[in-house]
Amino acid sequence: MNVCFNGCSFTVGEGFEPEQRDTYIYDRLVAKHFNWQRENIASPGSCNKGIFLRSADAIRSKKYDIVFSQWSALNRIWLFPGPDCTYSINHLNKDDFLYREIHLEEKFNTKLKYTLRLLNHDYHNILELIKFTNILNDLGEHTNTKVVHINGLIPWKDDLVKPLDKNNLAGSLDSYTKIILDFGNRDDKKIIMFMQELQDNFATLRQENWVNLFQSLQDRGSDTGPLGHHPGIESHMWLAGEIINYMEKQ
């Protein structure tokens, strides 16, 4: 069985030294359990558009029986000022940015990244991610490739699939959903309209293709790898177990 794992730094194995990754990172644990031939095409800091494009290429190649896509933070943006340069808003690092005639001094660079984050709202990123997964699912059916989705950093909650109590909106919505709906600044009619759009789109998502739809790897625990910042041994073991259980049920 040939399988492919795609995603961001979580799937790469950031947080661990390269020589430790075969022992601790979830994709290696899953592949060893099933005795699969595994390829890892994940890239650190990936935005979901990049993950979508790599997974689509992996499916189109017809090299794999299964393609796993670990989805990342919704508001990541990668820009390309030139053929040999990338500009990412993943982190608000305090540095100058310099590429050819482009020079963004530290203060302006930080402000620009913060502004781009504000302009890249999660509401429409959720709608876009649903489209990404649906396209991959359809492509997988066309090529006879099993497509499996993994929640790495998506903060959406299960109120997207629960009936909305229009008489108790505050009690029906998770705090994250309230943020993306701008709950405190909209009237009930608008909140219901936008929430209905989210739920209608979410209804097209094939939940059976997801391992951990509403519990992201980031939310799973507070343990970190030896190098810090990224999920640690327990988190990777948990996700490997979730994938193994999912596949065995399949």
Over residues 149-195, the pLDDT tens digits come to 999 999 999 999 999 999 999 999 999 999 999 999 999 999 999 99
67 in the same domain as 172 = no
132 in the same domain as 9 = yes
Q: In Å, what is the CA distance from 136 to each residue of 51, 150, 204?
A: 11, 13, 13
153 in the same domain as 213 = yes
71 in the same domain as 11 = yes
Q: Which of 22-31, 87-96, 228-237 has the lowest mean pLDDT?
A: 87-96
Which CATH number goes with the domain that contains 151? 3.40.50.1110
178 in the same domain as 126 = no
Residue 222 pLDDT grade (very low, low, confident, very high; cuts 50, 70, 90): confident
pLDDT, average across residues 191-203: 97
The Cα–Cα gap between 158 and 215 comes to: 10
The Cα–Cα gap between 203 and 223 comes to: 33
173 in the same domain as 50 = no
Question: What is the pLDDT, as a whole number, of residue 220?
Answer: 81
67 in the same domain as 131 = yes
Report yes or no: 27 and 11 within 8 Å, Cβ to Cβ: yes
What's the domain count of the chain? 3
String of b and e for 52-90 (b: at least 16 CB within 10 Å)? Answer: bebbbebbeeeebebbbbbbbbbbbbeeeeeeeeebebb
Q: Which of 3-7, 69-73, 110-114, 194-198 has the lowest mean pLDDT?
A: 110-114
Question: What is the pLDDT, as a whole number, of residue 165?
Answer: 94
Specify burial of residue 91 (Cβ count, 10 A radius: 0-12, 13-18, 19+): exposed
129 in the same domain as 20 = yes
136 in the same domain as 191 = no
Question: What is the pLDDT, as a whole number, of residue 250?
Answer: 85
Question: What is the pLDDT, as a whole number, of residue 100?
Answer: 92
- Mean pLDDT (the chain, rounded): 95
pLDDT, average across residues 202-209: 97
- On the question of pLDDT at 61 being above 80, the answer is yes
106 in the same domain as 177 = no
172 in the same domain as 88 = no
* Sequence letter at residue 155: P
Range of the domain at 185: 162-202
53 in the same domain as 4 = yes
